[in-house]
Amino acid sequence: MSVTQNNKALYINGEWVPVTSGACEPVVNPATEEVVGMAPVGGRVEAEAAIAAARQAFDLGQWARLSGAQRAIKLQAFYDVLVSKGDEIRSLITREAGATMIAQRVQFGIAMQHAQFFVNACNLDTTKPLPVEVHAAMGDHKMLGAGVTIREPVGVVVAITPYNFPFFLNVSKVFPALAAGNTVVLKPSPYTPFAALVLAQAAHEAGLPAGVLNVITGDKEVGEILTTDPRVDLITFTGSDNVGAAIQAQAAPTLKRLLLELGGKSALIVCEDANLDQATAAGVMNFTWHAGQGCNLTTRHLVHNSIRAQYVERVATMAKAIKLGNPADPDVGMGPLIRDAQRQRVEYYVDVARKEGAELVTGGKRPEGLDKGFFYEPTLFTEVDNKSRIAQEEVFGPVGVVIGYDTDEEAIALANDSQYGLGGGIFSQNVGRAFEMAKHIRTGEVYLNGGSGGMSSHAPFGGIKRSGYGREFGIEGLNEYTYLKSIVFHAG
């Protein structure tokens, strides 16, 4: 049965459990406004049952006590079932989240790449020796001391995910948490519940032990139950900085571990010697990719004044040429925003930018001929003050701003003049110069001349300042879900 046909039950303790209230709500295709399916809506009963199941599975079950190799076998089966559902999941990502065919490569393809990385990481030996030391004892006797450090799972992990990259982020949190030996309660955005319920379906088919993965839905009340319950040991959250701050406050009384990947207003620095073909292609992609609904997109373009006019003209021309429409069409380059409320947010910020004196180059309105769906034209502003709201606040829509600069030092200062610190980019044909600049940018990631050409599963990802803390992906991302323990002993 397709996951979109399940409108009555959530996945708790290895079973599909009907929601107590019987409540369900429509999930809407943001491109067509048609109903994808009816999703069950959980409440307090389901939240507390899921926490209890995860707690029992961790404390009394075998998952945390399995060897890494044993967990790898079970997670590989989970992975294989997800791969077998690839066509269904790709279609779901487009219909539920509005992702284009190109975006599916990240939303599904890179997600599964990361999943396989964490399956393989189960087999790594995390035991590390401490230096052997001689210690004075009674009289002339001396003792030989030694020790090791080991990594242990944190316990019960709550994963709360947003609507923009739902399947990708669900996989990116669930697999490392499970690989480390934790149990998980996953709560997706109400806009994209099916991208989480399909993981539950795959986990059930793969035979993951009961309570190891629980998937529930619900509103703000459910979220607060998950973030305040003392039985929860760690919260991993991706979303806005304001919600992240609220979660941090809710988690504080019980001193939970937190892994927060929050908002961004990342800067793309285009030096005077940049390859303009490469820089402008990256520039337009970074405010139109997934309709600008990406926290790590570089939507603040800092362009050397000697080439700024050329840059703006090229980017505007490319933005106008992007085909908007239903992302199920492989020729479509940009799909819709997730809901009309998000489109209204974009319209609000466009109006703010105009009032602040920014010059609208292209876009700034809803496209003609697309009466259904939550579409908005790719929008570019120039003559923007870096202190303005349009340059400082996260829009989360297809809006880019261009700010001029004259020196490398000024570019770095402008890039760092932000409450966020998630991503960034630099284009310069002097790669050594770009590398030196990157070291001074206060952010969790910087790509040079477009980056490596792919998203490495080995590269840790995360931010500083109001972009959050902690890292996802790589061994560092796996370690976020563990405690470090020292065991010391007599060696002789």
* pLDDT tier for residue 453 given thresholds of 50, 70 and 90: confident
Distance between CA atoms of 259 and 470, rounded to whole angstroms?
5
% of the chain at pLDDT higher than 70:
99
Q: 260 near 237, Cβ under 8 Å?
A: yes
Structure confidence at residue 6 as a pLDDT band (50, 70, 90) = low
Point out the least confidently predicted range of 114-118, 237-241, 450-454, 475-479.
Answer: 450-454
Write the DSSP assignment of 311-352 as a string of letters: HHHHHHHHHHHPPBS-TTSTT-SB---SSHHHHHHHHHHHHH
Selecting among 122, 295, 394, 480, the annotated active-site residue is: 295
Q: How confident is the model at residue 432, as a pLDDT?
A: 98
Q: Give per-residue pLDDT as tens, 36-67.
A: 999 999 999 999 999 999 999 999 999 999 99
What are the distances in angstroms from CA 465 to CA 235, 302, 444? 18, 20, 10
Distance separating alpha carbons of residues 285 and 268, to the nearest angstrom = 12
What number of other Cβ atoms are within 10 A of residue 61's Cβ?
18
Q: Which element (helix H / strand E) includes 67?
A: none
Given a contact cutoff of 8 angstroms between Cβ atoms, the answer to whether 256 and 235 are in contact is yes
pLDDT tier for residue 491 given thresholds of 50, 70 and 90: confident
Domains of the chain in start order, with CATH, are: 3-262+470-489 (3.40.605.10), 267-456 (3.40.309.10)
Judge contact between 367 and 376, C-beta under 8 A: yes
- Looking at 96, 261, 445, 480, which residue is catalytic? 261
- 3-class DSSP state of 353: helix
Element (H, E) at 276: helix 276-288
CB-based contact 435:427 (threshold 8 Å) = no
Which of 44, 53, 1, 51 lies closest to 23 in space, CA to CA?
Answer: 44
Residue 377 has a pLDDT of: 98
Give the pLDDT score at 139: 76
Q: Does the annotation count 261 as an active-site position? A: yes
Active site residue 295: yes
Taking a C-beta distance cutoff of 8 angstroms, is the pair 303, 402 a contact? yes
Query: pLDDT per residue over 361-390, tens digit each?
Result: 999 999 999 999 999 999 999 999 999 999
What is the C-alpha separation between 242 and 141, in angstroms, rounded? 60
Evaluate if residue 398 carries a pLDDT over 70: yes
In DSSP terms, 402 is beta-bridged to 301
pLDDT for 197 equals: 97
Q: Given pLDDT bands bounded at 50, 70 and 90, which one contains residue 137?
A: confident
Neighbours of 253 (CB within 10 A): 9
Confidence of residue 269 (pLDDT cuts 50, 70, 90): very high
The amino acid present at 178, given as its one-letter code, is: L
Q: List CB contacts of 130: < 8 A, sequence separation 6 or more.
A: 146, 147, 148, 149, 486, 488
Q: Which of 63, 84, 80, 88 is nearest to 115 (CA)?
A: 80
The whole-angstrom separation of Cα 249 and Cα 470 is 17
Q: Look at residue 2 in the predicted model and tell me its pLDDT.
A: 77
Say what the pTM is. 0.96
Phi, psi of 446 (to 5 degrees): -140, 130
Among the residue ranges 4-18, 79-93, 379-393, 435-449, the one predicted with the least confidence is: 4-18
Closest CA to 212 of 53, 321, 66: 53
Using alpha carbons, list the distances in angstroms from residue 7 to 38, 82, 87, 396, 416: 5, 21, 21, 30, 46
Residue-level pLDDT at 7:
65
Arithmetic mean of pLDDT, 260-287: 98
**Is the separation of the CB atoms in 395 and 331 below 8 Å?**
no
pLDDT at 1 over 70: no
Q: Are strands 300-304 and 267-270 parallel, antiparallel or unpaired?
A: parallel
Percent of the chain exceeding pLDDT 90 equals: 94
Q: Mean pLDDT of all residues in the chain?
A: 96
Distance CA 210, CA 215 (A): 12
The answer to whether residues 179 and 474 touch, using CB atoms and an 8 Å cutoff, is no
Kindly write down the DSSP assignment for every residue of 131-179, as one continuous string.
Answer: PPEEEE-STT-EEEEEEEEEEEE-SEEEEE--SSSHHHHHHHHHHHHHH
Tell me the pLDDT band of 106, cut-offs 50, 70 and 90: confident
Residue 204 in this model has a pLDDT that exceeds 90? yes
The reported pLDDT for the residue numbered 136 is: 86
Rounded to whole angstroms, the Cα distance separating 420 from 241 reads 9
Positive or negative, the CA dihedral 182, 202, 111, 69 is positive
User: What's the pLDDT tens digit per position in 280-295?
Assistant: 999 999 999 999 999 9
Which tens digits make up the pLDDT trace of 220-247?
Answer: 999 999 999 999 999 999 999 999 999 9
Mean pLDDT of 308-329: 98
